[in-house]
Structure 1
Amino acid sequence: MSDTLEEFNEGLIRFIGESPTPFHASKSMAEQLAAAGFTELKESESWTLVPGERYYLLRNGSSLIAFVYGRESLIDSGIRMLGAHTDSPCLKVKPNARVISAGYYQLGVEVYGGVLLSTWFDRDLSIAGRVTFRSANGSPVSRLIDFVAPVAMVPSLAIHLDRDVNRNRSINPQEELRPLLMLADDDPDKFTFPALLLAQLQKQYPGIEVREILDFELSLYDTQRPALIGLRREFIASARLDNLLSCYLGLESILAAKGDQSCLLVCTDHEEVGSASACGARGPMLDQFLQRLIPETSDRLRALDASMMISADNAHGIHPNYRQKHDAEHGPLLNGGPVIKVNANQRYATTSETSGLFRLLCDDLGVPVQSFVSRTDMECGSTIGPITAAEVGVKTLDIGVPTFAMHSTRELAGSQDAYALMRVIRAYFARPRAPGRFDGQ
């Protein structure tokens, strides 16, 4: 657990650097929870959950729920929930991955989520994800792989061959985003992508027996490590700040939970593409967990009435070079504190009551609070907040840490904001009064 700003940022940098895919992020969180005494729950088994104990659950290897079963009554005190997502926009490898062009081996890739395409050029890229194969006994087995070293690049076209590139550039993701792997052999069939995966499996898991590569879910990622930057080290630059930053502060918060109040962290996959999957926020994962926790419908609804969900996802900081893209009265500053996200059309699930409670928590800790509202003439993004509120029926707040270059391969956030938000979430998890019930209702 991180008790100082320096410890927190060191842990955040390490966590993001070791989590190139949702599978790796979920595995890392699960390992830290297990080391802290959390018991793993298997969905294939029956459960007997005991107040005072701590649990975690994985689904698809890419989504996770961590739960502290408090000693206080669930019906009276509810559950303090925090939601985040494990996925980030990226380039994913296509099933027939090998492409041969002009004497080079390349990778066929597909765009995942709202990628800032231009930021993927001229980066030292590696490959990571999950591989499923036929094992020695004939059964399917999955393992995570990570090449770690840079093995690919998407080279830009020289300006001499495109004189208008700085005035008018559009990117064709099918034709122009294929990463370069190596020179092609005289016999082009000498290299196959399954053979490359087999070699990587044998490197990472010595002695493993693989009869056949069946399939894979692999992503490209930038190998540049996260770093504290700026003359005063005021900023953190990294890939996947959206939204592994929120996953990490949620993890650090629930690891510090004392155990009197019930609290829950849910980190789901596929938010960047709509969350509609078995392990996404639009799927049944959280609702099914709550059903097994509180089987009786009336009791579960009463507990939800006393509960609250905070959806933690990055917010847009006001960009000094593009101030006209922001509402002048709602431009969060990096290191200005966590941001309450508001949208009249329910792209965010914030209400006056949920934001009011958050402001009280921040005020008690001396943490400044900011607000974000999109320009009225611009469309607003969304989060798992409205989805969870609709699927589960729990009062919800959307908050986040102000960020630049969201969905780039290299995003930028303040080096103080995530730690400040973690302090607020720890107080929220420990709050003795049912957060979902408000006076005057």
Structure 2
Amino acid sequence: MGKTRFLFPVLLLLLISPSTAEIKTLTITSDNRPMILLEKFGFTRTGHVSISVSAVSVVGGTSSQADPSRLGFFLLSEESLLQVLIEMQQNPSFCVLDSHYTTHLFNFRELSPPPSASFNRTFPLTLPNEYSLFFANCAPDTAVSMSLRTELYNLNPSDSSRDYLSAGQTHLPTLFSLFSLLYFLFLALWLRLCLLNRRSLHRIHLLMAALLLMKALNLLSAAEDNHFVKTTGTPHGWDVLFYIFQFLRVVLLFTVIVLVGTGWSFLKPFLQDREKKVLIIVIPLQVLANLASVVIGETGPFIKDWVTWNQVFLLVDIICCCAIIFPIVWSIRSLRETSKTDGKAARNLAKLTLFRQFYIVVIGYLYFTRIVVFALKTIAAYKYRWVSNLAEETANLAFYIIMFYMFRPVERNEYFALDDDEEEAAEIALRDEDFEL
């Protein structure tokens, strides 16, 4: 029954675990899980797996000494995952190390004798595919402790240098660098537009400039992070900068969407209490989400609560996405009510049209980046996993361009500069709209 209950977490781990790998140094202490997912990596024909274990100890067991051949490491492709799960369901006592669907690496019988109890070896892979590296414990009622170092990499055909990025993510440094450059250019154009239209400049435009800067720096740190992981196997501290800029960028993005969606700085210099509450809720939730992101990025899937952290991150992200929609809906409702009473039908109709369009854009953006991108990551072949990153960054850039264009600082904004004829036409349009509703 223990193995059967473990099937779903294993499947979930394989679906949501990242493919980016680097040199990992892990310490496993008194762990009795039957299977532990260590890494997931896309290999080419020149792929290699290097495993070094030391200070191995096994405690417990139904006999005086556990069979060392029942504990070991193996690789498993996604194509073979279902077959292995079927074998384990049909026979609860079945050991995954005996399955012919797995690529066996070594078991504890090959360890050096105590007290060192260590192993160090590199395994070449000639069959390209995306594999997950597992440790299996088929010895009943035993707990394993060990120090573990793993290196998963491909050799570059040109110079035989090591590439520690998965086959589907080896192009990420170039991709992130290109988009970082685009955002820096975007920022320069935005600042120039702000300087040329100082009379129409609002505080929100400066906040939007800060958002562009954080996005550009976030992509730059991501490019450097992936570059150093690709060439050396470690991020050299760029992962810390990535998490910092990622946090600032996400908080600024949600804040800008809420402020723009409520008309702050455009229509009114203040926020209502309920809009302030949205920001008070969203920002702490984003802090929690980014802490979960750090845990996920720095520890990897081998920790026991890794699935839980992923579920927390997903739940918090969904809550934040839903929360920022409400202020836009409140603004649309408020504009509909005031358009009937303040005698400025055309202006309010224009504002109403603007925020409706923005609402649709936000919904489309959130849907694409949260659902479509995730689907691409799931269904795309491992060699083309970078396509999901390209789609996500393209959607991000498109959303920023649309939002910044809609709320750009110009003297005669097409939504607010209206003449008397348009005023009369808008009054008729509002009456017709109320009649239809």
* TM-score w.r.t. length of structure 1: 0.26
Which one has the bigger helix percentage?
A: 2
Higher relative contact order (CA 8 A, sep 6+): 1
* TM-score w.r.t. length of structure 2: 0.26
